[in-house]
Amino acid sequence: MITRRRACLLAALALGLAGPVLAQEAHPEAHQEAHSPIKAVFDLGEGLEQASRAIANIRNELAIEPDAKIVVVAHGEGVKFLLEGATDSHDRPYAAMVAALSKQGVEFRVCNNTLNNFHIAPERVIPEARIVPAGIAEVLRLQAREGYVYFKP
């Protein structure tokens, strides 16, 4: 004869084991989202050192998640690495690094407000980078409207 206590214990155990299965069926989109590509916006506003860190971070991320969708938004001092002739601390041209990452699907965007405020001609921006009206507005738009996660190296 099964006692009430034993019956309650068996019922609780059955519910405990069934819970994760029921949760997966109730929210199938959670399972799909786990396999969606990561979408990240890199916020660069601090200059060449930050740009070098970001490039290393992006390379590392793409090595693990080759399908990641990454957008780099440069504003303020951060636009410098996306200008013709910019080099890192080892005299390596940023343009070559950006071109390689662009071929992997990384997008680069430059703040037009910064270009105007620093009196930088748009022609100085390397071809892989697209000029957007406002860098911060672009970061916010990507987060709020397109579901990108924010990262600041």
- Residue 37 and residue 29: Cα distance in Å, rounded? 14
Q: Residue 74 belongs to what H/E stretch?
A: strand 69-74
Closest CA to 61 of 30, 37, 92, 25: 37
Long-range contacts of 87-92 (CB under 8 A, 24+ apart): 88/48, 88/51, 88/52, 89/48, 89/49, 89/52
Domain ranges of the chain: 1-33, 37-151
The per-residue pLDDT for 22 is: 47
Amino acid, single-letter form, for residue 150: Y
What mean pLDDT value characterizes the chain? 88
The per-residue pLDDT for 35 is: 78
- pLDDT (mean) for 141-152: 98
Q: Is the pLDDT of residue 15 over 60?
A: no
The per-residue pLDDT for 21 is: 47
- Residue 134 and residue 112: Cα distance in Å, rounded? 6
**pLDDT tens readout for residues 42-73:** 999 999 999 999 999 999 999 999 999 999 99
Q: Which CATH number fits domain 37-151: 3.40.1260.10, 3.40.50.1980, 3.60.21.10, 3.60.20.30?
A: 3.40.1260.10
**pLDDT tens readout for residues 126-144:** 999 999 999 999 999 999 9
